Amino acid sequence: MYIGKVVGTVISTNKAESLTGQKLLVVQMYDIATMRLTDKNMVAIDAVGAGEEEVVMVVTGSSARLTAVTEKKPVDAAIIGIVDSIEIEHKTVFCKNEEP
């Protein structure tokens, strides 16, 4: 599982029929140890209604096809949660309601 930030949207009129109507988002990955954005990006299908600038949990591989939205679809990455806060070693390193 990865933590990332939604930074964009992918629009595709020609795609696999099973992806019609699905929201595809560009997610920039965090280095979880430092909570700094990395240069790694991925496209993930949105299974939870995430929006621009939200911090999200992403799964990849076969796990990405285990949600009601992604079952039997040709996806390799899925957004499965919107993060409220992250605590590492008893210290809050991210909180959705606080400015970065």
Please check whether residue 64 lies inside any domain of the structure.
Answer: yes
In a domain, 68, yes or no: yes
What is the C-alpha separation between 86 and 61, in angstroms, rounded? 24
Domain range enclosing 44: 2-95
Q: Give how far Cα 44 sits from Cα of 15, 95, 98, Å.
A: 14, 23, 25
pLDDT of residue 33: 86
pLDDT means per 10 residues, the chain with 100 residues, are 97 92 96 93 97 96 91 94 95 84
- Domain annotation covers residue 100: no
Domain count, the chain: 1
